[in-house]
Amino acid sequence: MTDRIEKIRQNYVNAKPEISYERAWLWTESYKKTEGLPVCIRSARAFYDCCDQLGVHIFEGELVVGATGEFRKCGILTPEFSWMWVDREMDTFAQRPQDPYLITDQQRAFVREHIFPYWKGKSLEEAFLARLPEDTRRIGVDTGIIDNDSKWRQAVGEVTPDYQDVLFRKGFGGLIKEAQEHIAKLDLCSPEDEEKKDFYESVIWTSKGIIRYANRYGDEAERLAAQEKDPQRAKELRVIAQNCRRVPEHPPESFYEAIQFLWFTQIGGILSENPLSLNPGRFDQYMDPYYEKDLAAGAITEDAALELIEALWLKYSEWVWTISANTADYFAGYNQFQNLTVGGKTRDGHDGTNPITYLALKATEEVRTHQPGLSVRVQADCPKEFLDAITHLVSKGTGFPAIHSDSVGYQMLLNAGYEPEDARDWNNCGCVVPHNRKTGEWTAAVNMNFGSALEYALNQGKSLMTGQLMGLEEKPAGEFSSYEEVKAAFFKQFDNLCRHSVILTVEAQRLHRDMVPRPFLSSCIEHCMACGKDLSRGGAKYNIGPVITGIGLAVTANSLAAVKKLVFEDQVCDMATLVKALQANWEGYEDLRQKAQDCPKYGNDDDYADDIAIEIANHFYDTIHPYKDIFGSHFLTAFMGISNYIPMGRVLGATPDGRKNGEPSSEGVSPYVGTDHSTPLAAMRSTAKVNQEIHSGGTLLNLRLDHNLVATKRGQANLGAMIQTLFSLGGFHVQFNCISSETLRAAQAHPEDYKDLLVRVAGYSTQFVNLSRSMQDAIIARTEHSGF
222: pLDDT strictly greater than 90 = yes
Give dist(CA 599, CA 651) in Å, integer.
24
Closest to 525 measured CA to CA, from 512, 509, 536, 514: 536
291: pLDDT strictly greater than 90 = yes
Measured from the Cβ of residue 535, the count of other Cβ atoms closer than 10 Å reads 27
516: pLDDT strictly greater than 80 = yes
Percent of the chain predicted with pLDDT > 90:
92
Q: pLDDT digit string (tens) for 448-477?
A: 999 999 999 999 999 999 999 999 999 999
pLDDT of residue 781: 87
Read off the pLDDT of each residue in 401-420 and give the average, rounded to a whole number.
97
Closest to 270 measured CA to CA, from 340, 364, 337, 176: 337
SS3 276: coil
> E-strand spans in 158-298?
281-282
Q: Do the strands 146-147 and 446-449 form a parallel or antiparallel pair, or are they unpaired?
A: antiparallel
765: pLDDT strictly greater than 90 = no
pLDDT band at 762 (very low <50, low <70, confident <90, very high): confident
pTM of the model: 0.96
Give dist(CA 192, CA 703) in Å, integer.
52
Read off the pLDDT of each residue in 674-697 and give the average, rounded to a whole number.
95
Please name the residues in contact with 107: beta carbons below 8 A apart, sequence gap of 6 or more: 19, 21
138: pLDDT strictly greater than 80 = yes
Q: pLDDT digit string (tens) for 159-192?
A: 999 999 999 999 999 999 999 999 999 999 999 9
Please name the residues in contact with 283: beta carbons below 8 A apart, sequence gap of 6 or more: 340, 341, 342, 356, 360
Could you tell me what percentage of the chain is helix, strand and coil, using 3-state DSSP and rounding each to the nearest 5?
55, 10, 35
216: pLDDT strictly greater than 80 = yes
Give dist(CA 138, CA 133) in Å, integer.
9
* C-alpha distances in Å from residue 639, one per residue of 152, 443, 762: 22, 11, 11
Closest to 409 measured CA to CA, from 428, 385, 434, 392: 434
Backbone angles phi, psi at 373, to 5 degrees: -75, 105
Cβ(352)–Cβ(343) below 8 Å = yes
Beta partners for residue 780, in sequence order = none
Alpha helices in 644-740 (DSSP H): 645-650, 680-689, 713-728
Percent of the chain predicted with pLDDT > 70:
100
DSSP state of 54: S
Give dist(CA 714, CA 244) in Å, integer.
47
pLDDT band at 70 (very low <50, low <70, confident <90, very high): very high
Read off the pLDDT of each residue in 600-605 and give the average, rounded to a whole number.
98
> E-strand spans in 151-300?
281-282
| 229, burial (CB in 10 Å: exposed 0-12, middle 13-18, buried 19+) | exposed
Q: Which amino acid is at 732?
A: F
Backbone angles phi, psi at 479, to 5 degrees: -90, -5
pLDDT of residue 326: 85
761: pLDDT strictly greater than 90 = no
Give dist(CA 194, CA 21) in Å, integer.
35
Closest to 450 measured CA to CA, from 250, 658, 669: 669
pLDDT of residue 774: 85
> E-strand spans in 203-345?
281-282, 339-343
Q: Which amino acid is at 786?
A: S
Cβ(731)–Cβ(707) below 8 Å = no
Give dist(CA 456, CA 477) in Å, integer.
10
Most distant pair of Cα atoms in the chain: their distance:
85
Closest to 648 measured CA to CA, from 497, 443, 756, 440: 497
Read off the pLDDT of each residue in 693-716 and give the average, rounded to a whole number.
95
E strand or H helix at 550, and its extent? strand 547-551
Give dist(CA 53, CA 88) in Å, integer.
28
C-alpha radius of gyration, the chain, whole number: 26
Please state which of the ranges 322-336, 561-575, 722-736 shows the lowest mean pLDDT: 322-336
Cβ(575)–Cβ(474) below 8 Å = no
267: pLDDT strictly greater than 90 = yes
pLDDT of residue 333: 85
pLDDT of residue 320: 93
What is the rounded average pLDDT for all residues in the chain?
96
788: pLDDT strictly greater than 90 = no
DSSP state of 535: G
Per residue, the 3-state secondary structure of 749-783, as one string, reads: HCHHHCCCCEEECCCCEEEHHHCCHHHHHHHHCCC
763: pLDDT strictly greater than 80 = no
Give dist(CA 246, CA 771) in Å, integer.
40
